[in-house]
Structure 1
């Protein structure tokens, strides 16, 4: 017999978040859009990147952290999933509801799934919480395997030195992304890039090399395997032969930093 975690299924409330074209454009620039990407950075023809939704919903894992589910100094954002239900408008407001999904017992740690739902998207954060396991629950499914074999496409994914400082203005102001002392406390030489920024930047690059439009994402997922420092250039490997979209991973100096990545665009076949 396994015991469910007391927080499994807990209601995290609802929230309406408002945004305008400036917020969506700032986000696009932060994840790597250029001045020539007019439908991402020019308000007269703006299409909102679907991953922008994740900044609107950042409040939900913060609510659970505020209830003491994990130690914010040691918890890690382990994985992210996003399902797009309808395109986000260029400006407006989004009503979201949030709850705790599954809570998995990994022995020395727990993994909390935080699920956010709106008319536009469904998103799930998986938070790895050291020291919170051992409650008698199920270990959960095995970690998805990364693609094997020779990639169909290999390209680079550049980041830039000010990217974390810019991206944090979209909502996630955790100190490890801006404060050298906070980064040093987790063993990093300098502030690290947000995992969600790396994931969104990868989507932009994948769209560019596969001929898709980054605003046409229907489904996205990935695991954050290692930190990325702003300014690093990642190796991006794609497997495009599957019927469920493109599988991908990002590597730096031989170390995987983003694994088990999958993205499906509206025009995928």
Structure 2
């Protein structure tokens, strides 16, 4: 097997992906948009949530695992970043390119950064491949410290019991999000919510708490620290600089969150 850092710069190719307003509406509903938010769920007034872009680009990290960089069954989603360059239309098609922009040695595993670029967005997945660390590579950027000041606001978000079942229809059909046996195989008592679903739910909370329109978001990022279960409540805390954190009764689920909107 190739050294993990031999994958730096690896070209994952190009792909053209199309979508309709039905896909964008389903996405909005799956991440907590209410039926009375007609600007998010009604085709005649539709504004597409920026994080919908991540469902269009999911093929890239999957392609890296399939190419042999790591064992997908021993890989976890470490963090996510999304930068919007232009709003997504209600329907359309988009060509994307993807490559590995960095590989970091975290001892217990290797982190692979996969960047997907298009005319509308740049998205970066950081995938922690357990068992691939210890190859003598750079440990990577130092995490920014957690905020020490009191949050500017805090809100509780109830995760619908069917949240993971709905989110799977956006394309990520990993069985740990629906099958109790698959969840048990990774040490979880029941199916878990997709990290990207939690991140999107949090971005809606940030928009609401800061009186911004969620479709005006231009930056979203966060580190996945622990699992969230469908049907439970999470606490989203936010700071004046756009930082946020998501917690459950068990501890922090998303750390280092940041969300920015157009001026």
Query: Shared topology, TM-score over 0.5?
Result: yes
Q: Is the 8 A contact 1:222 1:258 kept in 2?
A: yes
2:251 alignment counterpart: 255
2:112 alignment counterpart: 112
> For 1:84-140, what per-residue CA distance to the aligned partner results, in whole angstroms no more than 9, with x for missing partners?
000001100010000001000112210000000000000000001111112221011
Question: In structure 2, how many angstroms separate the alpha carbons of the residues matched to 1:34 and 1:146?
Answer: 31
TM-score for both structures, normalised by structure 1: 0.95
Deviation at 1:70, TM superposition (A): 1.6
Question: In structure 2, how many angstroms separate the alpha carbons of the residues matched to 1:198 and 1:222?
Answer: 10
Q: Mapping of 1:108-187 within 5 angstroms?
A: 108-187=108-187
Question: In structure 1, how many angstroms separate the alpha carbons of the residues matched to 2:115 and 2:123?
Answer: 6
> For 1:218-266, what per-residue CA distance to the aligned partner results, in whole angstroms no more than 9, with x for missing partners?
11110000000001101111111x3xxx100011115000110000011
Question: In structure 2, how many angstroms separate the alpha carbons of the residues matched to 1:225 and 1:108?
Answer: 16
Residue 4 and residue 34 in structure 1: after superposition, are their counterparts in 2 closer, same or farther (change >3 A)?
closer
Q: Is the 8 A contact 1:83 1:122 kept in 2?
A: yes
SS at 1:157 equivalent: strand
CA RMSD, aligned part only?
A: 1.1
**Structure 1 spans left out of the alignment, 5+ residues:** none
Q: Is the 8 A contact 2:4 2:110 kept in 1?
A: no
Question: In structure 1, how many angstroms separate the alpha carbons of the residues matched to 2:36 and 2:146?
Answer: 33
TM-score for both structures, normalised by structure 2: 0.97
Q: Is the 8 A contact 2:105 2:138 kept in 1?
A: yes
Deviation at 1:4, TM superposition (A): 7.6
Question: In structure 2, how many angstroms separate the alpha carbons of the residues matched to 1:25 and 1:4?
Answer: 38
1:227 aligns with 2:223: no
2:261 alignment counterpart: 265
Deviation at 1:146, TM superposition (A): 2.1
Question: In structure 2, how many angstroms separate the alpha carbons of the residues matched to 1:247 and 1:203?
Answer: 11
